[in-house]
Amino acid sequence: MAVAAVVAGCYTLPLVTQARPARPADAMTLSQRLDLLTAQAQAAERSGNAGAAAAVWKQILSIDPRNVAAREGLALARRQLGEPAPREPSTEASALAQRLRDYKVNQGDVIEVFVWQRADLSRDVTVRPDGMIAVPLAGDVPAMGRTLSELDADVTQRLQEAVGGPVAGQEITGSGQAMPVYTVNPGDVLEVYVWQQSDLTRDVIVRPDGIISLPLAGDLYAAGRTLPELDDEITEKFGQFVRDPDVTVALKKTETGATKFIDVSLAIKRFGGTKVIVMGQVKAPGVYGPTGDARLAEVVAMAGGASVDADLRSVFVVHGGQQYPEVIRANLSQFIRQGDAVQNIALRPNDIVYIPRTFVATTTDFLEQFYPSISEALVGVNLMSELGAGGEEPFKQ
């Protein structure tokens, strides 16, 4: 039985039964369901029924809290209905993001190593007791005690040397190591990907004069520039026509026809040991490692305690990961003032704890107003969707 089914005053997500739901074996089933709901919401929009559209968009967000189309559709419907715009915890998320960027990899952490267009090199690796990770071609790489950016730079350099890829310049990383930086050449094939803008996404060839041509952006000089530099300019150009474009520029082929440039992305998939993420109105948001029978109040205390702006009447705990979240709402103020132990929820490894600034009445409100930006903050610092998926059992002695 799910925890929320036996804890008074706590709630599971809409559409979730008391028994913990089985994850869909076929991802297309969930995708088809979301497509159907999206079509219903869009039909309600076309008919001018903002209330119906809002209801369906909310239903989509209860299934997929990070669905951008649903968030935008719900915001539009609320404006049409004259409802106030929901608050999102951008300040709190930014504070956490800064701390997580400084997180030092530890024993037992599971790290996703993704190498663009190299499935043979991409895999999940676990930090061993000796602090090392094993990466194909790179061998054993020291990981424990380093930030993800430091580890990324080391893995990239080792793989770059192993495959003999092009190196046209170097930049010095925070770890003091030189990291290869590729500069574009005539004849290179670049992939320009614009999220949710299929008409702008395409492969382009750098012409002999060093120019590439893109819709809306026109002709841009590419030769001799790094991919991040080109990414920034394309983002700026598209931003004149598209709201907040999310652009990624990648090297698909070099002028020789082979792609040897190594593009590595590292992300923490699961924390090792008994780690919990604490966000929102606490004095020191971040990752904490409680021991023994970890409870909500203990972890909040580890984060320096609640700030003066915190509303402890609606503290949220996320089990099950970002893709299949099970959200529990607890009144920590009631535990502190009245000793109601039921509100001091037992935590699981990789749980996410969020304390809002203002009272949040329901888990649905939390999912709509806060959870999307929380997910974006975690993804923005390379923490993956499995965080929160700590299993059914709470911490043990």
Q: Is residue 100 part of a domain?
A: no
Please tell me what DSSP assigns to residue 389: -
- 143 confidence band (pLDDT: 50, 70, 90): very high
Report the pLDDT averaged over residues 347-354. 86
Mean pLDDT, the chain, whole residue set: 74
Between 185 and 84, name the one with better pLDDT: 185
- 306 and 374 in a single domain? The answer is yes
Q: What is the reported pLDDT for 293? A: 78
Given 236, 269, 302, which residue is the final one in a domain?
Answer: 269
Q: How many CB atoms lie within 10 A of CB 357?
A: 16
Between 234 and 373, name the one with better pLDDT: 234
Number of domains forming the structure of the chain = 4
Lowest mean pLDDT segment, chosen from 32-41, 63-72, 217-226, 311-320: 63-72
- CA angle, residues 21, 37, 351, in degrees to nearest 5: 35
Q: What is the reported pLDDT for 145? A: 92
Decide if pLDDT at 180 tops 80. no
Decide if pLDDT at 169 tops 80. no
Q: Percentage of the chain surpassing pLDDT 90?
A: 12
Q: Is residue 92 part of a domain?
A: no
Q: Is residue 297 part of a domain?
A: yes
Segments forming the whole domain that contains residue 287: 3-20+273-380
302-313 pLDDT, tens digit each: 989 998 888 999
Q: Cα–Cα distances in Å, from 150 out to 94, 105, 172, 333?
A: 21, 10, 11, 40
- 174 and 218 in a single domain? The answer is no
- 240 and 280 in a single domain? The answer is no
Matching residue, tokens 């039964």: 17
Q: Is residue 290 part of a domain?
A: yes
Q: Is residue 387 part of a domain?
A: no
Lowest mean pLDDT segment, chosen from 163-167, 171-175, 195-199: 171-175
Q: Percentage of the chain surpassing pLDDT 70?
A: 70
- 7 and 52 in a single domain? The answer is no
The closest of 168, 161, 164 to 185, measured between CA atoms, is 168
Q: Is residue 391 part of a domain?
A: no
CB 394 within 8 A of CB 293: yes
- 290 and 376 in a single domain? The answer is yes
- 342 and 307 in a single domain? The answer is yes
The closest of 201, 349, 368 to 272, measured between CA atoms, is 349
Q: What CATH number has the domain bearing residue 221?
A: 3.30.1950.10
For 353, counting Cβ atoms within 10 Å of its Cβ (0-12 exposed, 13-18 middle, 19+ buried), the class is buried
Burial 91-123 (b: 16+ CB within 10 A, else e): ebbebbbebbeebebbebbbbbbebbebeebbe
- 7 confidence band (pLDDT: 50, 70, 90): very low
Q: What is the reported pLDDT for 391? A: 47
- 142 and 112 in a single domain? The answer is yes
- 164 confidence band (pLDDT: 50, 70, 90): low
Q: How many CB atoms lie within 10 A of CB 126?
A: 15
Report the pLDDT averaged over residues 193-209. 83
Q: Is residue 302 part of a domain?
A: yes
- 354 and 282 in a single domain? The answer is yes
Residues 6+ positions from 212 with CB-CB distance below 8 Å: 190, 204, 205, 206, 219, 220, 222
Q: What is the reported pLDDT for 76? A: 84
Q: What is the reported pLDDT for 397? A: 38
Decide if pLDDT at 362 tops 90. no
Matching residue, tokens 């000796």: 130
- 116 and 38 in a single domain? The answer is no
- CA angle, residues 15, 16, 19, in degrees to nearest 5: 150
- 233 and 279 in a single domain? The answer is no
- 140 and 59 in a single domain? The answer is no
Q: What is the reported pLDDT for 322? A: 59
Q: Is residue 101 part of a domain?
A: no
Decide if pLDDT at 183 tops 60. yes
Q: What is the reported pLDDT for 26? A: 39
CB 227 within 8 A of CB 251: yes
Highest mean pLDDT among 55-59, 83-87, 90-94: 55-59
Given 269, 294, 327, which residue is the final one in a domain?
Answer: 269
Q: What is the reported pLDDT for 170? A: 40
Q: What is the reported pLDDT for 97? A: 59
- 372 and 294 in a single domain? The answer is yes
Between 362 and 12, name the one with better pLDDT: 362
Q: How far apart are CA 309 and CA 278, in angstroms?
A: 16
Lowest mean pLDDT segment, chosen from 12-16, 80-84, 201-205, 258-262: 12-16
Q: What CATH number has the domain bearing residue 279?
A: 3.10.560.10
